[in-house]
Amino acid sequence: MKTNPKVDFYFQKAKSWKEEIEALRTIVLGSGLEEELKWGVPCYTLNGKNVVLIHTFKDYCALLFHKGALMKDPKGLLIQQTEHVQAARQIRFTKLSDILRHKTAIGTYIKDAIAIEKAGLQVPMKETREFDMPDEFEQRMKELPALKAAFKALTPGRQRGYLLYFSSAKQAKTREARIEKNVPRILEGLGLDD
């Protein structure tokens, strides 16, 4: 069980969920995964591949399994964060006693995630073309061919992020505003969160 000093600050700075995330850290480190800091949170990897991470929210803390959609879920603990999340699944906790009660099950889920990674399995992802393309964005790309080229040059994940963000607006005016605000980012090759 080897901690990474670069990750220690995450646990030291925690104001909420401190006991819970420390317990999760102990359990995950017991699996033999390497501890790294990615996206500002503890991420546990196997041969450089992301397997599981610990993160906190206002109402809960969680283990997020990067290929959770492929995992067995005998206890019914895995949660899909939103309808648009394709691969990852969470196990959420609201108190330390839940973690301690499910300690063996958590270990089993981690072993399953490791086996999936060792086997090289991949979650089948929806193609970008399967997502709704808002008419306003399609029209803007016709008006500005450089935008279309820049959008096609983005990674599929970045493309999906923009399409989901644009199409989630109920009013055309809001979709248009979102598109215009993000045209410069797309032209620079950036995703929504870059």
d(CA 150, CA 191): 11
Do 16 and 112 belong to one domain? yes
At residue 60, the pLDDT reads: 97
- Boundaries of domain holding 89: 5-118
Q: Are residues 94 and 146 in the same domain?
A: no
Given this model, what pLDDT does residue 193 score?
83
6: amino acid identity, one letter: K
Listed residues 74, 97, 118: the one ending a domain: 118
Query: How many domains are there within the chain?
Result: 2
Q: Which of 61, 87, 118 is the last residue of a domain?
A: 118
**Which of 96, 118, 140 marks a domain boundary?**
118
- Alpha carbon of 154 to those of 37, 134, 161, 175: distances in Å? 25, 17, 10, 20
Q: Do 135 and 76 fall within a single domain?
A: no
Q: 86 and 35 in one domain? A: yes
- The residue to which tokens 């949170």 are assigned: 41
Which of 124, 117, 119, 121 lies closest to 49, judged by CA? 117
Q: Indicate the pTM of the whole model.
A: 0.75
Q: Is residue 143 part of a domain?
A: yes
Mean pLDDT by 10 residues, the chain (194 residues): 91 94 97 95 97 97 97 96 88 97 97 97 82 92 96 91 92 96 96 87
Contacts 24+ apart (CB under 8 A), 170-177: 172/136, 175/134, 175/136, 175/137, 176/136
